[in-house]
Structure 1
Amino acid sequence: MNIRTLRASVLGVLAALVLSACSTGQDAGTEGPPVFDGTHVDSEAFAQAADGDGVTVIDVRTPGEFAEGHLPGAINIDVSSPTFADAVAELDADGAYAVYCQSANRSRLAIDQMTTAGLTETIGLEGGIGAWTGDVETGDIATG
């Protein structure tokens, strides 16, 4: 193998790695249902995922934040609570979960902990609830 061929091969592999690292799990313009693989997706894909049969929507913000407004049908499991792991352990390991928070930081943490606990069918909302209210016109926020 000559040096040019080797260099081109290495550059190709590096480009593929960089592109895959930047992926959110749902390519722009990709048709089909969102993949529940622990990645965070835009509000449109999240809305589609959350609307799926048997999907549980989980708001991982504090109870106070939840009371101020949350996505319709969401349940509140506060990721910062010392009982988060116990609450996750009670969830169906075969279930699918759409997880969100305020900005996507806590939902990433929650999904990592859920995956460790054996819940692998998860998807997160990129940008958190602010992205939902800003992008999806039909995304009414429930209160109370």
Structure 2
Amino acid sequence: MRWLQKLLGSEQTLPTLPEQALYIDVRSPGEYAGGHLPGALNLPLEQVASQIATQAPDLDQPIVVYCASGMRSGQARAVLLQLGYRQVSNGGGVGSLSLRLGKPLQSC
């Protein structure tokens, strides 16, 4: 781990996540059922563009998207920004986000 700290610098910090954000899990329903953040909405990546307006009609709603590794959530963030959402954060992978927030995963 020390080599990583040297590479990134010891002052490396993660971006702050909004307090009252809507957490959206962009993984498949099966992945979501296996463990997700409490209260998170499951909206698979391929459905984000077509269904987000019904789930978050306010374009100023703080939103945090996450997936298994951060790749799909990065794509979802880009889609949401294109649609006009102004406060969208990529939370990265579900495991690391769970640790970061101090919230254990729950299963369906």
Q: What TM-score do you get using the length of structure 1 for normalisation?
A: 0.59
Percent sequence identity over aligned pairs:
30
Structure 2 match to 1:72: 38
- The partner residue of 2:22 within 56, 63, 71 is 56
Structure 2 match to 1:28: 12
Structure 2 match to 1:89: 53
Structure 2 match to 1:112: 78
- Structure 2 CA distance, aligned partners of 1:137 and 1:119? 23
Per-residue Cα deviation, 1:58-114 (whole angstroms, up to 9, x for no partner) = 10001110111101110011003xx33121232221211011000000000000000
- The partner residue of 1:130 within 80, 89, 95 is 95
Aligned amino acid, residue 60 of structure 1: V
Dislocated runs of 4+, deviation >2 Å? 135-139
- Structure 2 CA distance, aligned partners of 1:136 and 1:119? 24
- Structure 2 CA distance, aligned partners of 1:123 and 1:136? 14
Structure 2 match to 1:35: none
Structure 2 match to 1:121: 87
Look up the SS of the partner of 2:95 in the other structure.
helix
Aligned amino acid, residue 82 of structure 2: T
- Structure 1 CA distance, aligned partners of 2:104 and 2:95? 12
Is the Cα contact below 8 Å between 1:99 and 1:111 reproduced in 2? Answer: yes
User: Size of the alignment, in residue pairs?
Assistant: 96
Give unmatched runs, 5+ long, in structure 2.
1-10
Larger radius of gyration: 1
